[in-house]
Amino acid sequence: MNIRKMSAFIASVIMASSFCGCKKRVKSTGRMQLSQALSAEKASEETDDATIDGEQPLTDPDRILFTYEYRNNAWGYQYSVYVILGDGRCYYHSLKAGNFTVPEFSKEDIDSVIDLSSDMISFYYDQDFINELYQHARDFDPNAPKTEKHSAYDAGQNSLYYWDEDMNKVLLLSEGDYRYTFDDPNFDVIQKLWETRYAHM
């Protein structure tokens, strides 16, 4: 049981008890359950974590792996970005013309808008999903031939980028006014993976 699952479990115990009108018992029960869960979590970390690949980041948990960026110049300058880290943390920022004028979101821009120690996390992605997406993204050819097709007007552009170990951006997916497809065996897999999850944003 990881920390997030444990927290959800404790919350459900306390909520269920409060519906019964047992507020005093809730406090003691909650503390007891928390103590038991923390002990179980510690034991689990010591025995199981190293063997459960699906729940462990395949790279530095604090490393920026992906950005999902939206840009639209049709109705005034609009730019927003989701920054996704190695452990599934996702931060959202809406960047206005007044404080963001460069044509491409870069490492320097990330440093100026994201503070990993204090920014509010928008949500988490499952670690197994991030690991699978990462494995295909790192094998994606940044120079793969691409096809561009005009598909809309004034819709803006939504683009998913992978950031390699040198902090270079690799475009994986892009749809909106134009749709890009890539001649790379990982493209279809990445597209299907992303379509299962991006609706959370």
Instruction: Examine the domain organization and report whether 43 and 142 are in the same domain.
Output: no
Instruction: Examine the domain organization and report whether 77 and 7 are in the same domain.
Output: no
Phi-psi region of 45 (alpha: psi -120 to 50; beta: other; left: phi over 0): alpha
* Structural domain includes residue 100: yes
Instruction: Examine the domain organization and report whether 132 and 187 are in the same domain.
Output: yes
Instruction: Examine the domain organization and report whether 39 and 116 are in the same domain.
Output: no
* Structural domain includes residue 58: no
Question: What's the pLDDT tens digit per position in 120-152?
Answer: 788 899 999 999 999 999 999 999 999 999 998
* Structural domain includes residue 78: yes
Question: What's the pLDDT tens digit per position in 157-194?
Answer: 999 999 999 999 999 999 999 999 999 999 999 999 99
Instruction: Examine the domain organization and report whether 103 and 159 are in the same domain.
Output: yes
Instruction: Examine the domain organization and report whether 34 and 69 are in the same domain.
Output: no
Instruction: Examine the domain organization and report whether 8 and 86 are in the same domain.
Output: no
Helix residue ranges, H only, 20-61? 23-47
Question: What's the pLDDT tens digit per position in 8-48?
Answer: 443 443 333 333 333 343 344 444 444 544 444 444 444 34
Instruction: Examine the domain organization and report whether 80 and 107 are in the same domain.
Output: yes
How is residue 31 written in tokens? Answer: 């503390």
* Structural domain includes residue 70: yes
Number of domains present in the structure of the chain = 2
Containing structural domain, residue 11? 3-51
